[in-house]
Amino acid sequence: MPATASNAIVVDGLNCAPVTREQIQRTLAGGVNAINLTSVNPWDDFSASMSDLSRTLKVIAGSKDIAMIARTVGDIQTAKKENKLAFVLGTQGSTLVEKDLELLRMMQLAGFRIMQPTYMERNDLGSGVLGKPGDDGLTPLGHKWVALMNELNMLIDLSHVGYKTAADVLKASKQPVIFSHANARALCDSLRNIPDELMTAAAKTGGTVGATLWPPMLRHDQRPTIEDWADQIVYMINLVGADHVAFGSDLSEGRYRDDDHWQQSFGPKGMYPEVTAVLGPWFKFETRITEGYESMANTTRLPEALQRRQIKSDAIDKVMGGNLLRVYREVWGE
């Protein structure tokens, strides 16, 4: 018996792999119908971000037989019917608009549907999880950002946001809020994971928490497997209910040329050693990805893992995409 219904739509709540035709094909091979694409670098300004975006859009346009931009839930449903991958444009930070929030209007018109206020560090809106000297919450400009995001029907994501700033956003938003890729800190003590109270608060807004497969957020003592990811899903379902749990791969498939390239970015010696250097000696270039999920083509293994945990098929369908589709519809208004 298949782990997901044939008509179920699978949505990767956060994907950061470089966009190529080959990557699109791998993603489709894994049964994924839509991804929230990290469309620009979270630390880039508006000009650099738009240059990067233009190159990505060129690749998608050149693969229109298998890919499309999704601005509505209807677009995602169309992609499913036509065996195409739907790209939802998103960002993991708001550096590109923090000096002029009205640029959000242009981004919404360009097709952006999901944004985070901060990435790892502090900015003019609030603090990221590694913000220094500390997280003192959402700033007055940050409150204006939340209000404008709500006005524009753009979905707020808090995955990299500091705990106090995130709590402030959850209180301020009049629409559902998500953590697209953030695991339970109760199971894995990573600075990038979140406490139970933030997961519960997101669920109370009508939003979701998306369990991710990035190793530093799954397990530190040894290389994690898909079963460790399934542990996160089971924990979240027990905490907030099956209607508020999703998945976000955060898989950077095809991004790194070699060990040096990886080390300079998200390896143990990279940009955020507070998150990556705390792992055991097993965390090397060759074993940097969760075992069993080395490619988006392996996504069919995820619902199978949930099925082994005796999770019901309708709940699996919700986790693998149904819950995010509901949130998208509620926020986007379509």
> What digits encode the pLDDT tens for the residues 22-33?
999 999 999 999
Average per-residue pLDDT in the chain?
96
**216 domain residue, yes or no:** yes
CA dihedral 14, 285, 235, 199 (to 10 degrees): -40
pLDDT value at residue 1? 42
Tell me what the mean pLDDT of segment 200-215 comes to.
Answer: 98
Instruction: Indicate which CATH number applies to the domain containing 142.
Output: 3.20.20.140
**44 domain residue, yes or no:** yes
Our count of domains for the chain comes to: 1
pLDDT tens-digit series, residues 280-322? 999 999 999 999 999 999 999 999 999 999 999 999 999 999 9
pLDDT value at residue 106? 94
**260 domain residue, yes or no:** no
- C-alpha dist (Å) from residue 194 to 42, 170, 202, 204, 304: 20, 14, 11, 16, 26
Residues 6+ apart with CB under 8 A from 165: 117, 118, 125, 126, 127, 128, 131, 135, 137, 138, 142
Q: Which domain holds residue 237?
A: 11-253+289-332
**276 domain residue, yes or no:** no
State percent of the chain over pLDDT 70. 98
The C-alpha atoms of residue 57 and residue 8 are separated, in whole angstroms, by: 27
Tell me what the mean pLDDT of segment 32-37 comes to.
Answer: 98
**238 domain residue, yes or no:** yes
**278 domain residue, yes or no:** no
Per the CB < 8 A criterion, the answer to whether 256 and 298 are in contact is no
**283 domain residue, yes or no:** no
pLDDT value at residue 152? 98
Structure tokens at 152: 């524009």
Burial class from Cβ neighbours inside 10 Å (0-12, 13-18, 19+) for residue 7 reads exposed
pLDDT tens-digit series, residues 84-100? 999 999 999 999 999 99
pLDDT tens-digit series, residues 104-161? 999 999 999 999 999 999 999 999 999 999 899 999 999 999 999 999 999 999 999 9
**3 domain residue, yes or no:** no
State percent of the chain over pLDDT 90. 96
